[in-house]
Amino acid sequence: MPNGIADLIFLVINILSIVLIARALCSWFDPTFRSSIGRVLFEITEPLLAPIRQVVPPVGMLDLSILVAFFILFILRQLLESAVYG
């Protein structure tokens, strides 16, 4: 795989990670995502988190789907790094 494509995938993984962190922080202050920033974060991350929520149920008041999404992104990044850089 050319490094240009790998770099693009790394960039997407990094952006998704940052957006997930932003969503987690935003959920503390705007849990209904009514603000414009909250709506954008919700629209970007919900397609990734909704399938995870179907598999991983919430624990009490904690939604663990963001944590699982981080773990999945970490594994994808590690697999891509080992495939590209050996």
Q: How many domains does the chain have?
A: 1
Mean pLDDT throughout 26-31? 90
Would you list the DSSP string of the chain?
--HHHHHHHHHHHHHHHHHHHHHHHHHHH-TT--SHHHHHHHHHHHHHHHHHHHHS--BTTB-THHHHHHHHHHHHHHHHHHHHH-
Report pLDDT for 31. Answer: 87
Q: Scanning the structure block, which residue is given the tokens 């849990």? A: 31
Mean pLDDT throughout 27-38? 90
- Domain residues for 65? 3-85
The backbone region for 85, taken as left when phi is positive above 0, alpha when psi lies in -120 to 50, beta otherwise, is: alpha
Beta partners for 59? 62
Confidence of residue 70 (pLDDT cuts 50, 70, 90): very high
